[in-house]
Amino acid sequence: NAGVTQTPKFRVLKTGQSMTLLCAQDMNHEYMYWYRQDPGMGLRLIHYSVGEGTTAKGEVPDGYNVSRLKKQNFLLGLESAAPSQTSVYFCASSTWGGMGNEQFFGPGTRLTVL
Cβ atoms of 110 and 9 closer than 8 Å: yes
Query: Least distance in Å: CB of 96 to other proteins?
Result: 8
Contacts of 28 (CB under 8 A, 6+ apart): 71, 72
Instruction: Evaluate the CA torsion angle 91, 105, 41, 110 in order and state its sign.
Output: negative
Among positions 47-66, residues that touch other proteins (CB under 8 A) are 48, 50, 58-59
Query: Least distance in Å: CB of 58 to other proteins?
Result: 6
Q: How many angstroms separate the CA atoms of 95 and 84, rounded?
A: 32
Query: Least distance in Å: CB of 93 to other proteins?
Result: 11
In this structure, which amino acid lies at residue 87? Answer: S
**For residues 16 and 107, which CB has a smaller minimum distance to other proteins in the complex?**
107
What residue ranges bind other proteins (CB under 8 A)?
Answer: 31, 33, 40-45, 48, 50, 58-59, 90, 92, 94, 97-108
